[in-house]
Amino acid sequence: MSRLIIVSNRVAPISEGGMAAGGLAVGVYDALKETGGMWFGWSGEIAGAAAPELKIEERGPVTFATVPLTRRDYDQYYRGFSNDTLWPTFHYRTDLTHYDRHEFEGYQRVNAWLAHQLLPLLEPDDVIWVHDYHLIPFAEALRQQGVTNRIGFFLHIPFPAAQLLVTVPPHDKLMRALCCYDLVGVQTAPDLRALRDYLEHEAGGTVSDDGTARAYGRTLRIGSYPIGIYPDELASLAEAGRDGRHLKNLRQTMRERRLIVSVDRLDYSKGLVERFRAFEKLLELSPNHRAQVSFIQIAPPTRADIQSYQQIRLQLESESGRINGRFAEMDWTPIRYLHRQFERAVLASLFREAHVGYVTPLRDGMNLVAKEYVAAQNPHDPGVLVLSRFAGAAQELDGALIVNPVDVTGMAEALDRALDMPRDERRERYQRMMETLRRNSVSVWRDSFLSDLRAVPQ
Ligand code: ADQ
């Protein structure tokens, strides 16, 4: 089989044991090990004064090829256009979107430069799979340099409604570039509808029901490929860690109280403030839960050099302080807010310990935490997932209590129901969701995308 080339903004640090930080990285790395191949992208480093140099590292059948970025490239391509324009708009937060034409030019320049770095490493029948919003123009840049290989693109975040996408001034250039791919994959059916709507009504193209799109003089395939996890591995990880040090310490301080858990990057798209307020509303409306339930929110910092991320952090610190001040007792803190990273094994066992997984993003491409929470449960006595309807995962996880994350009272009612749900109902919901997770695992996601990409006529 032809070699696979993965291109992503960051090349995930894979430890010797083969485990990386997130499920996506593991899924992609497994595909590379199977066919042999290369993972290409930014090293995560900022280059000094010298010209940035490509670094190549071989590990078994997989080659890691990374480049640093200059400070200017980082500011314009990564912090600027990718994370201060595309990210907020694609998450329906046009109020937070900041646009600067120079940053867009930097975004295009860095994509062209990255494509140029990859060019000498390519072989004629390599299959290239590009990931996420940082790299929309990557295929166009490769095509301009004469590359005719099959190139696929997967968008991990939501594809916004056309009326939102057109608020990004160079939307037409972006979409023209997107159509240089042979296959474009999105997470869910609503994302696919939004993409189709743009191509048909803004770009004047056509999309047939088998997913063949014609726009800007190009023919490509589009489809939805919901990303998954390895549910059984996560279940084993959760079970193995159940008497670990962190869990023992937690149980001592909990003293039989019930536990609600949330884990997210500290991002305004994750709906953290509304979530805290809904927990407050629960304590307000149902005094029986006071001193009986604790809520742990784990939210490590990301993109801390962007103003909107500094604001959400301040807001959250102030909300947790206010709510704790209002309800805490000498021996009970309602919200425990931990602003840092934890190992996967610790998170998995924490999920298993929690009576409620509380996952309420305002918008999310998929949300793997929702899936991990379900997979980590004890099958005999599982917890309940409370899930935002605006997470891609809500399209699949029909055993969750589905909430609207701006409806604070509605979320408080769902928490109340989750905390009191009888065991039979919890088991039935868990089993239903676990079947879905096994059916749509990360291997299925990756294999179906890659087989569709390989099937595109070259
Ligand atoms: P993210 O926005 O990062 O991903 P998510 O899907 O929840 O969101 O994935 C986060 C991953 O990081 C999970 O595997 C989680 O366990 C892990 N993680 C989170 N907090 C952690 C912590 N404190 N310590 C250690 N690990 C932590 C983007 C899109 C999503 C999409 C994924 C995959 O925004 O919508 O689901 O890509 O496509």
Same domain for 243 and 336, yes or no, is yes
**Which domain does 150 fall in, by range?**
4-228+442-454
Q: What CATH number is attached to the domain comprising 126? A: 3.40.50.2000
Instruction: Name the pTM for this structure.
Output: 0.97
For residue 1, the model assigns a pLDDT of 81
CA of 234 to the centre of ligand 1 (A): 14
Domain count, the chain: 2
* 364 part of the active site: yes
Based on the fold, state whether residues 174 and 276 are members of the same structural domain. no
Is residue 13's pLDDT more than 70? Answer: no
Task: Choose which residue among 263, 269, 270, 309 to substitute to test ligand 1 binding: the one with the highest number of ligand atoms within 8 A of its C-beta.
Answer: 263
Does residue 211 surpass a pLDDT of 60? yes
CA of 143 to the centre of ligand 1 (A): 32
Q: Mean pLDDT, the chain, as a whole number? A: 95
Give the number of the atom of ligand 1 that is nearest the alpha carbon of residue 265: 20
63, pLDDT greater than 50 = yes
How confident is the model over 301-327, as a mean pLDDT? 95
Residues 150, 241, single domain; the answer is no
- Please name the residue whose Cα sits nearest to atom 9 of ligand 1: 368
Query: With a 6 A CB cut-off, is 369 part of the ligand 1 pocket?
Result: yes
Percent of the chain with pLDDT over 90: 90
Q: What is the pLDDT of residues 356-375, one digit of tens each?
A: 999 999 999 999 999 999 99
Catalytic entry in 75, 84, 126, 364:
364
Q: Does 53 have pLDDT greater than 60? A: yes
For the segment 209-235, the average pLDDT, to the nearest whole number, is 97
CB 406 within 8 A of CB 376: no
Taking residues 238-254, report their average pLDDT: 93
Quote the pLDDT of residue 432: 98
Ligand 1 atom having least distance to the Cα of 391: 35
The closest-lying atom of ligand 1 relative to the alpha carbon of residue 368 is 6
Q: Are residues 378 and 239 in the same domain?
A: yes
CA of 194 to the centre of ligand 1 (A): 23
Q: Which atom of ligand 1 is nearest to the CA of 267?
A: 2
Are 146 and 132 members of one domain?
Answer: yes
446 shares a domain with 431:
no
Average pLDDT over residues 3-24: 69
Gyration radius of the chain over CA positions: 22
Residue 239 has pLDDT above 50, yes or no: yes
Q: Are 201 and 294 found together in one domain?
A: no
Q: Is 201 a catalytic residue?
A: no
Pair 368, 354 in one domain? yes
Q: Which residue from 153, 340, 367, 445 has its CB within 8 A of the most atoms of ligand 1, so it is best to mutate?
A: 367
Q: Are residues 398 and 330 in the same domain?
A: yes
Catalytic residue from among 91, 134, 156, 289: 156
pLDDT digits (tens, 9 = 90+) for 151-204: 999 999 999 999 999 999 999 999 999 999 999 999 999 999 999 999 999 999
Asked if residue 140 and residue 110 are part of one domain, the reply reads yes
